Amino acid sequence: MLLERPAPAAERPLRAATLPDPEPAPGEVVIAVSACAVCRTDLQLCEGDLAARRLPIIPGHQAVGRVRAVGEGVTGWGIGDRAGVAWLGGTDGTCQYCRSGRENLCDNARFTGWDRDGGFAELIAARADFALALPERFPDRAAAPLLCGGIIGYRALRLSGIAPGGRLGLFGFGASALIAIQVARHWGCEVYVVTRSEEERRRALNLGAAWAGGLDERVPVPLDAAVTFAPVGSVVVAALRSLAPGGTVAVNAIHLDRMPEFPYELLWRERVIRSVANFTRADARELLDLAVAIPIQTAVDPFPLEEANEALRRLAEGRVAGAAVLET
Ligand SMILES: [Zn+2]
Ligand SMILES: [Zn+2]
């Protein structure tokens, strides 16, 4: 499913196309994709909110499948192995960030479905050293949503500084928050969920939230940390308003509509706002280990690959229960 020109989801920006099969370059594997989850970032790219880096491009960065071909020099992967391909598609390994455990900030990072063709396809080529081994207990369709929503949600939790047993706010409750709440509950945190959707509030309470309310309601306790998932700056300010002194809001969004002005007293007393950019392979391994230990349940809304436009449209309209997953 190819993106040639961004357009509103209702105008079906993706086109089914037949392309030559990708060949693995040295250091790469080619994977036959069976499932690829759809992330809000895919929607933002397809609609043009996130500027395309390359057109045409195949979006999708939560792909699961089996290795079909192995390029020269690849070690650790064989034909038929199950593998996942996520957002971080490659780094230079040499810049100051890569050398200090922060490959998520690499100056020359390449992203799946943005710089490189992604997983809304039957085949995907990926750097072997960035492909992820997946725990067997998750079938393909259940593993796919872990690969962005799960991993980046986990990084956001870490960067929020939430300690075991602490009071955590989750602002927005889509696919990523559905996984984050399970990790936070596993850590014994009290979780407060703010979302305008009544159905999502119900889901949050079912997953062990201590409280769930709308954006116009006040969180009943001061929060030690918060993560925002909605791509809306006013939600970041709402989260900041709910924080105890010294608390952090981690903003889990590659694109925000804008950052509104707010009174300095909301930030005063060492409150912090920080963005969360991408992930490291260490984050991925940690989240996948946790997914097995908890075990994380992923809620999946499956679509055939050729109905990718429909999945985008439903995501845009907020009508996806859990994570949309395209299946070949
Ligand atoms: Zn994503
Ligand atoms: Zn680097």
C-alpha 263 to ligand 1 mean position (Å): 32
Q: What count of other Cβ atoms lies within 10 Å of the Cβ of residue 20?
A: 6
The Cα 22–Cα 2 span in angstroms is 14
Model confidence pLDDT, tens digit, residues 17-58? 999 999 999 999 999 999 999 999 999 999 999 999 999 999
Question: Which ligand sits nearest to residue 88's alpha carbon?
Answer: 1
Dihedrals phi, psi of 305, to nearest 5 degrees: -50, -45
Q: For residue 224, what pLDDT is reported?
A: 98
Q: For residue 79, what pLDDT is reported?
A: 98
Question: Which ligand sits nearest to residue 155's alpha carbon?
Answer: 1
Q: For residue 219, what pLDDT is reported?
A: 98
pLDDT of residue 162 exceeding 90, the answer is: yes
- Dihedral over alpha carbons 77, 79, 85, 88 (to 10 degrees): 40
Model confidence pLDDT, tens digit, residues 79-114? 999 999 999 999 999 999 999 999 999 999 999 999
C-alpha 110 to ligand 2 mean position (Å): 10
Beta bridge partners of 326: 36, 303
Res. 237 pLDDT band, cuts 50 70 90: very high
Q: How do beta strands 63-70 and 82-85 pair?
A: antiparallel
Model confidence pLDDT, tens digit, residues 239-264? 999 999 999 999 998 889 999 999 99
Q: What percentage of residues in the chain have a pLDDT greater than 90?
A: 96
Question: Which ligand sits nearest to residue 105's alpha carbon?
Answer: 2
Asked if 110 contacts 8 with a C-beta cutoff of 8 angstroms, the reply is no
C-alpha 17 to ligand 2 mean position (Å): 33
Q: What number is the average pLDDT over the span 274-298? A: 97
C-alpha 184 to ligand 2 mean position (Å): 30
Q: For residue 173, what pLDDT is reported?
A: 94
Q: How do beta strands 28-37 and 323-327 pair?
A: antiparallel
pLDDT of residue 304 exceeding 90, the answer is: yes
Strands of 190-194's sheet, edge to edge? 211-213, 190-194, 167-171, 223-228, 243-251, 272-275
Q: How do beta strands 243-251 and 223-228 pair?
A: parallel
Res. 273 pLDDT band, cuts 50 70 90: very high
Q: What number is the average pLDDT over the span 132-152? A: 95
Asked if 124 contacts 28 with a C-beta cutoff of 8 angstroms, the reply is no
CA distances to 174, 190, 194, 287 from 202, in Å = 13, 16, 11, 25
pTM for the full model? 0.94
C-alpha 127 to ligand 2 mean position (Å): 15
Query: Pick from 59, 49, 24: which is nearest to 148 by CA?
Result: 59
Q: What percentage of residues in the chain have a pLDDT greater than 70?
A: 100
Question: Which ligand sits nearest to residue 42's alpha carbon?
Answer: 1
Dihedrals phi, psi of 133, to nearest 5 degrees: -75, 135
Res. 321 pLDDT band, cuts 50 70 90: confident
CB under 5 Å of ion ligand 1: residues: 39, 41, 148
Q: For residue 322, what pLDDT is reported?
A: 86
Q: How do beta strands 14-15 and 2-3 pair?
A: antiparallel
Asked if 325 contacts 38 with a C-beta cutoff of 8 angstroms, the reply is yes
Q: What number is the average pLDDT over the span 196-217? A: 96
Question: Which ligand sits nearest to residue 93's alpha carbon?
Answer: 2
Asked if 130 contacts 88 with a C-beta cutoff of 8 angstroms, the reply is yes
- pLDDT averaged over every residue in the chain: 97
Please count the helices (runs of H) and the strands (runs of E) in the chain.
8, 17
Res. 318 pLDDT band, cuts 50 70 90: confident
